[in-house]
Structure 1
Amino acid sequence: MKRQKRDRMERARAKGYQAGIAGRSKEGCPYQGTDARGYWLGGWRDAMDDRVTGLSAK
């Protein structure tokens, strides 16, 4: 049986989170579609909140 890939929106959110933890700017979002872009930015915002509270990429 084939393994299913993760949902595209879940992947967009995870990539946004990784970018945020790494300190990259939200203008670096690679997605053009509004849905995927929204999920990416949501992940990025979550990462920014986590960085403020002390979580780091180390």
Structure 2
Amino acid sequence: MRRLKRDPMERAFQRGYQNGINGKSRDLCPFTHPDTRQAWINGWREGRNDNWDGLTGTAGLHRLNQFNAVS
């Protein structure tokens, strides 16, 4: 049996954050499972907030790394 390299919820959050920081729509969420979808939307919401606060480019990537360190 293969092990997942990363937690699927963490990966969904990261992908949502990347979409949010780039200003993409929440409707682009590729997940249908409720828990994974919620993790993606939470990441998207954080990314949108950072986008609105001007944390784009390197500052946004630094913030994403902070989320990884907390997990």
TM-score (norm: length of structure 1): 0.87
User: What do you get for the CA RMSD once the two structures are aligned?
Assistant: 1.6
Query: Could you say which structure has the higher helix fraction?
Result: 2
Matched residue SS, 1:5: coil
* Identical positions, percent: 46
How high is the TM-score relative to the length of structure 2? 0.72
Match of 1:19 in 2: 19
Q: Can you give the 5+ residue segments of structure 2 that lack an aligned partner in the other structure? A: 59-71
Aligned length: 56
Q: Which has the higher contact order (CA 8 A, sep 6+)?
A: 1
State the alpha-carbon separation in 1 of the partners of residues 56 and 10 from structure 2.
Answer: 21
- State the Cα deviation string for residues 9-51 of structure 1 (Å, max 9, x = none): 0000000001111111000000000000000000000001101
Give the corresponding residue for 2:10: 10
- Rounded to whole Å, the distance in 2 between the matches of 1:48 and 1:20 is 4
